[in-house]
Amino acid sequence: MTLAITRKISPRFNECELTHISREPINLNLARQQHANYVLALQALSCEVIELPAEKDLPDSVFVEDTAFILPEIAIITRPGADSRKPEIESVAQALAPHRKLLRVHAPATVDGGDVLILGKNIFIGNSTRSNSAAVNQIQELLKPYGYVVAHVELRDCLHLKSALTKVDDQTLLINPNWADVSHFKQFDWIEIDAAEPYAANCLPINGQILYPTDFPKTAQKLEAHGYKLKQVDLSELAKAEGAVTCCSLIV
């Protein structure tokens, strides 16, 4: 059974970090309802969900993806780039400890899980405002014994690498080519987002289906035309906090 770790939304969600979009009021009740539906969708996709309690004083803590990344052999606990998010890691480390040996990065390294794209033995880390080259170097050293190769990928105009591209399956990526140096990914097949939907490149493949936002109908159609089965969720309130489908869970 696939395990998914999620966390309930903080009462201070409206104080979230924002980098590329301007602040709009988030309806907390609606955001919680959308998040509950996201958890139901994970369960419908055969995930066992461990839902951590809300962190009252950590506005962005629903976005658990940024606190860790998980490999078959081990998990790495990150050191998030935004200071407001650094305290989010400990409760996630506790939740992951029964499932993986945990490794950590240390200052001056900072890295958000949203910047970490794992494609087999290749790990790509976005060069973002959150993730730096000290993190890339430390992660390469930590993962060398396990045979992983780590690359730093230039980004433009987006928060994280996984805003620009995500994995659809082992050979296929969903890509917004305007936001990342896509020359790293020539060996993969690409599905390009519809140009009218720049935020559409974030999808979460789970157990043969693709968890995908309802906000991007044109790109959704493209994915379906390629034969992928979508499980769609409305995350419009979480999008006001710059969140998307991958960032609300850690898939173990």
Q: What angle do CA 154, 155, 157 make, to 5 degrees?
A: 155
Q: Identify each DSSP E strand in 115-233 by its residue range.
A: 116-119, 122-127, 149-154, 165-169, 172-175, 189-192, 204-206, 209-213, 230-233
Provide, rounded to whole angstroms, the least separation between the CB of residue 152 and ligand CIR: 17
Q: Which residue is nearest to ligand CIR (CB)?
A: 114
Active-site residue, 247 included: yes
What does the binding site for ligand CIR look like in residue numbers (CB under 6 A)? 16-17, 19, 60, 63, 65-66, 82, 85, 114, 160, 241-244, 247
Tell me how far CA of residue 126 lies from CA of 12, 110, 206, in angstroms.
28, 11, 23
Which is nearer to ligand CIR, 66 or 237 (by Cβ)? Answer: 66
Classify burial at 26, counting beta carbons within 10 Å of its beta carbon; exposed 0-12, middle 13-18, buried 19 or more.
Answer: buried
Q: Of these residues, 158, 160, 203, 248, which one is catalytic?
A: 160
Provide, rounded to whole angstroms, the least separation between the CB of residue 131 and ligand CIR: 11
Which is nearer to ligand CIR, 237 or 242 (by Cβ)? Answer: 242
Indicate the pairing of strand 2-7 with strand 68-70. Answer: unpaired
Which is nearer to ligand CIR, 157 or 224 (by Cβ)? Answer: 157
Which is nearer to ligand CIR, 3 or 238 (by Cβ)? Answer: 238
Provide, rounded to whole angstroms, the least separation between the CB of residue 163 and ligand CIR: 6
Nearest to 232 by CA among 210, 250, 248: 210
Q: Of these residues, 47, 158, 203, 247, which one is catalytic?
A: 247
Interatomic CA distance for residues 97 and 115, integer angstroms: 22
Within 10 A of 170 (CB to CB), how many other CB atoms are there? Answer: 9
Provide, rounded to whole angstroms, the least separation between the CB of residue 244 and ligand CIR: 5
Q: Which residues are the active-site residues?
A: 160, 247
